[in-house]
Amino acid sequence: MHPDPLLSLRSRAGNLFRRAVGALEGVLFLRTCYACGTEIEEGLFCPVCRSYLLELKEWDQGGERGWFFFTYDEGIKEAMRKIKFEQNWALLDRCAEETELLWQSGVLRRCQEALPVPLTDLVWCGVPTDARRRRERGYDLPTALFRRLAGLSGGTWQPLLCRTRHTEPMFGLGPEERRRNLEDSMALLAPVDGKNIVLTDDIFTTGATFAAASAVLREGGAASVRCLAFAGSVENLR
């Protein structure tokens, strides 16, 4: 079944309007730290709150290894809700800036010891977004958050995965329900044989989405897969 061209056009027009509004907000209003309200020039947090909130937690579950930058607290939850369901482009750009600031601070270099190859030899990709949600939002969230960071680190960004069917939102699903929801839902877009990959997503919760995407990459012949999320749930690391 093909999407209605008129609905698709309306969706694109709506996304362009929301992005213009978001850009205008950034010009008309002061940018403040999302945690404390201090006036800032770039990113999501002021330097003090960034140093306090930054976790760079490493996790290893079922053979999958990775990191997330920030704890998925109420502030981050609210930011992601606005990005995903209100198409808040200005906030999305601030989160992308935050990943760049973390690179400049040297945080990502702390992961180097756990990587099988230098940062410059890595291929970055995102967990694929459901096509329906990508059309609704007007962007792919992992790409928007991490593509610039891949370039700054000297790596290469390449779309490697796609969704093969619609999946339900994961919120509220138990571990087994999440597994069934993701089963056979992803496929390769490009060859990955021998590549060392950084797989990115906005949020790490149970690790089910990362595990499903990583399995496809490994089955395709990837030499290694490491996962990186903007934020994650500390409870699931205990």
214: pLDDT confidence band, cut at 50, 70 and 90? very high
- 18 has a pLDDT exceeding 70: no
d(CA 149, CA 162): 21
172: pLDDT confidence band, cut at 50, 70 and 90? low
Token pair 């992601």 in the structure block, residue: 80
At 15 the pLDDT is 45
Positive or negative, the Cα torsion across 143, 148, 152, 157?
positive
d(CA 234, CA 51): 17
Pairing of strands 156-157, 123-126: parallel
At 216 the pLDDT is 96
Region 157-167 average pLDDT: 90
85: pLDDT confidence band, cut at 50, 70 and 90? confident
- 11 has a pLDDT exceeding 50: no
Region 133-156 average pLDDT: 91
Q: Among 17-31, 67-81, 171-185, which stretch is predicted with the lowest mean pLDDT? A: 17-31
No. of helices (H) and no. of strands (E), the chain? 8, 8
At 236 the pLDDT is 63
Q: Which domain holds residue 158?
A: 5-237
Alpha-helical runs (H) found in the chain: 5-28, 47-53, 74-85, 89-104, 131-137, 141-152, 175-182, 208-219
Token pair 């990508």 in the structure block, residue: 134
Q: Among 19-23, 133-137, 190-194, which stretch is predicted with the lowest mean pLDDT? A: 19-23
170: pLDDT confidence band, cut at 50, 70 and 90? low
Instruction: State the chain's mean pLDDT as an integer.
Output: 83
* Among the listed residues 114, 45, 120, 108, the one whose alpha carbon sits nearest the alpha carbon of residue 76: 45
* Residue 211 near residue 64, CB atoms below 8 Å: yes
Q: Among 24-28, 92-96, 105-109, which stretch is predicted with the lowest mean pLDDT? A: 24-28
* Among the listed residues 157, 179, 231, 236, the one whose alpha carbon sits nearest the alpha carbon of residue 201: 231
At 238 the pLDDT is 53
Region 50-71 average pLDDT: 86
Count of domains in the chain?
1
This prediction has a pTM of: 0.84
